[in-house]
Structure 1
């Protein structure tokens, strides 16, 4: 992956719906050349998917929590997590707990009900998100850094 690929990724992570013509202009390549590079990034698994960022509050999922979970029944617990619509992310972690879940519900009451459904699988600690003062960061943080990596002086 060269600096042009990193520039392409920078632009796509900021606006995944950008046209190939416009993307080509941004990275000084023709539309066919940039299309081929994007296709190669997709085939190599660098680009895994294109997604829309949805406002949780606007769709009634304003209660967000992280759940630290400890279980000895990993497979049944994971089956439960896969089928629970409240679980939007699940990570296997090291330390005192086995799993970290990101859970979204419409209310604290629904979050409590979700916790009750978790009871048969083990013990857990619920950390309710009060706010998110820092926006999610991009993996390719800035075009300037991409260019500095390409042209170290």
Structure 2
């Protein structure tokens, strides 16, 4: 069960995952051993899934982002294809008229179009090009 201290720790770690345990302890008013134990417990419970570097797609020559609403009758084949496709960076199973939502990145509109043509072999889609992202990577606020 998460408490207020766990919530504070999670908020700091979402902002600065590489913070030292000493600095984290200072940020939440706990000793280094106490905060280390809490972080270890949160990791073991799966509350903290993993740590990773966030790489903005535009910084690695992929300035085009798109969300794709997709309907397919070959779900397993479609998922397999998406897992092997480097342009697909997120895939969600959803309810409603479409059964998948993809987030894709590309180096150009032409390469996005080419990939969309290949996706067409698996079903029908609607593509939404991202113009800007005023809120990106917002923190998940824990509740208890």
The TM-score, its normalising length taken from structure 2, stands at: 0.94
More deviation, 107-116/129-138: 129-138
What per-residue deviation string (whole Å, max 9, x for no partner) do you get for residues 51-90 of structure 1?
Answer: 2121211100100000010000001001000000000000
CA-atom RMSD, angstroms? 1.5
- Higher Cα Rg, which structure: 1
Aligned length: 143
1:134 Cα deviation after fit: 2.5
Higher helix share: 1
1: distance between equivalents of 2:114 and 2:39?
44
- Give the corresponding residue for 1:104: 105
Partner-residue secondary structure (3-state), 1:7: helix
Q: TM-score, normalised by structure 1?
A: 0.89
Match of 2:77 in 1: 76
Structure 2 residue runs of 5 or longer lacking an equivalent are: none
Give 4+ residue runs of structure 1 displaced > 4 Å after superposition. Answer: none
Name the residue aligned to 2:52.
Answer: 51
